[in-house]
Amino acid sequence: MKLLIFTQKVNRSDPILGFFHNWIEKIASSVEQVNVICLEKGEYDLPSNVQVFSLGKEDGKSKLKYIWRFYKYILSLDYDSVFVHMNQEYVLLGSLFWKLKNKKISMWYNHTSGTFLTKLAMFLCHFVFHTSPYAFTANSKRSIRMSAGIDTSLFTSNSTEKINNSILYLGRLDRIKKVHLLIEALKILKNRNIDFVLDMYGRSSPGSESYEEELKSMVRDYELENLITFKNSVSNFETPDIFSRHTIFVNMTAKGNYDKTVLESMACQSTAVVSSSAFAEAIDPRFIFEEDNAEDFADKLEYALKLSDDEKNSVGLSNRSYVIENESLEILVSKLISILE
């Protein structure tokens, strides 16, 4: 099979989308040819049967240039099936041509919200993939629930000694991520005289810088400066070592969110403490706190911090087993190829 893939970025060093580099590499091992069209390209090292074509964002914004290149590529490249990762616009722009040429059209869309255009894109696809049972695209006749695609050969616990009583947040410092709730919970733990340290990896998105400053102000006001460290964003391939050094990984996002960083941390044998009920099948209820409830969040963190070393090891091994058996990249690619062939 010759596959055409659309994605936002091809850049293995990107802290948010770098994981997709591994997806492309794994998919390429199972098909004859992969052509990837991205909005922006950066650093990549892919097999010889992969070609990457950029719409040109790295050279400056120009919607007319993007559209011209889009049609140039889809009309000239040789492919059998189309896989669109997250960006419904490509389905809307290309579906008429693809249907005329009898190409299979699939879209990966895992957001919990969508619009009329999302519904239209779903209608135009043969298959719509998602991982969260709360995804906007779930429960339609075209919907197929997939593995989250965690590369368990990359995301695995290494021999690095864990930081004692350590908590890790890794992600954007944006309000939608509810990082302020974490700081509120840690203030409660401090007042209870519970030992902990927190490392926060990530920066705010453009336009959200004021929220990052708000978080740093909260840390100062609560006198947590010696317990919380802000660090820069890191590439996806750097995160396994970071997960492995920390005991607890936290995620505060809302019901329905199925953040793959949680699963990546679990593959590295971390104890994940989350609020999204989408993880109800994956994570022991002892480590799922009530959404937006800092007191309950603090209770779950205290419980996790006070586990014995044997209990922490048991939780970590169980978490890794779950990811291998249900959410691995091998499972995703095998299922994806069988559907698109």
Question: What are the structural domains, with CATH classification, of the chain?
Answer: 2-151+329-340 (3.40.50.2000), 166-326 (3.40.50.2000)
Tokens 């075209």 belong to residue: 142
176-187 per-position pLDDT tens digit: 999 999 999 999
Q: What percent of the chain clears pLDDT 70, i.e. is strictly above it?
A: 100
pLDDT band at 59 (very low <50, low <70, confident <90, very high): confident
The dihedral through the CA atoms of 230, 234, 298, 213 has a sign that is: positive
Write phi, then psi, for 310 (nearest 5 degrees): -65, -40
Residues 6+ apart with CB under 8 A from 182: 169, 198, 250, 252, 297
Nearest to 236 by CA among 7, 10, 2, 8: 10
Sort 56 into a burial class: Cβ within 10 Å, 0-12 / 13-18 / 19+. Answer: middle
Q: Which token pair is 171?
A: 């992600």
137-157 per-position pLDDT tens digit: 998 999 999 999 999 999 999
d(CA 210, CA 222) in angstroms, rounded, equals 18
Write phi, then psi, for 39 (nearest 5 degrees): -70, -35
pLDDT band at 256 (very low <50, low <70, confident <90, very high): confident
d(CA 48, CA 98) in angstroms, rounded, equals 26
The whole-number pLDDT of residue 255 equals 86
